[in-house]
Structure 1
Amino acid sequence: MYREAHGGWVCMMADRYRGMIYVGVTADLASRVTQHREGRGSDFCAKYELKRLVLAERFATIEEAIAFEKRLKRWRREWKIELVEKSNPSWDDRFDQLM
């Protein structure tokens, strides 16, 4: 279901409520989040122990996902917090709910 040949995901990982935030893009959400949780996803996530999937947005193409990720990375921190809290006000880990 989450390993489709086309499309992409923008995901945000965090260590805790309103904590450190990582923004990434992937075509395979389950594998990428698992990599982050195991400390293999990115040096940034491993360094700050970002293992909580707080936001995942699906896009029809990987190109759309990459474009949104690039915009999101330029956003102010408070805007990113607002985006997360629109759908996940308590910053719960959404990984099990999506899988």
Structure 2
Amino acid sequence: MHKKVFIHTYYVYIITNKYRSTFYIGVTNNLKVRLLKHKNNILQKKKTFAAKYNIEFLIYYEKYNWIQLAIAREKELKKWRREKKLVLIREMNPTFVFLNSDFE
């Protein structure tokens, strides 16, 4: 009998506002749903950091198969200075184009 192996996908992501002035870093197992939640929080005027600064546009993400690695990476990125985050984002997304449509 074969044991079923489920491959999970987790995302560490960075979103910003339309001015690209403020960043939010998070982790999720469903980036499409999470991006919608950020957008809805803004529309509903929820008192979250992302909603306060109208942060809903995806500019960077990484994929992981282990939640522990994703959480560790999220914590690492949150400690970085803005300049270091900008270098990381530019490596994947040089023009800071919004990537939300990749997950619609």
Shorter chain as denominator, the TM-score bin is 0.7 to 0.9
In the alignment, what sits opposite 2:25?
A: 23
Q: 1:36 pairs with 21, 35, 38, which one?
A: 38
- Number of equivalent positions: 96
Structure 1 stretches lacking a partner, 5+ long = none
What is the Cα-based RMSD across aligned positions, in Å? Answer: 2.1
The alignment status of 1:56 with 2:61, answered yes or no, reads: yes
Structure 2 stretches lacking a partner, 5+ long = 1-5
Letter aligned with residue 80 of structure 1: K
In the alignment, what sits opposite 2:84?
A: 79
Please tell me whether the aligned partners of residues 7 and 65 of structure 2 are also in contact (alpha carbons under 8 angstroms): no
Change over 3 Å in CA distance of 1:22–1:50 after alignment to 2:
same
In the alignment, what sits opposite 1:88?
A: 93
Secondary structure of 2:62 counterpart: strand
Give the TM-score taking structure 2 as reference length. Answer: 0.82
Deviation, 1:16, is 3.3
Point out 4+ residue stretches in structure 1 off by more than 6 angstroms.
Answer: none
Q: Percent identity?
A: 34
> How far does the alpha carbon of each residue in 1:27-56 deviate from its partner, in whole angstroms, 9 at most, with x for none?
111110111112269701100000110011
Deviation, 1:15, is 0.7
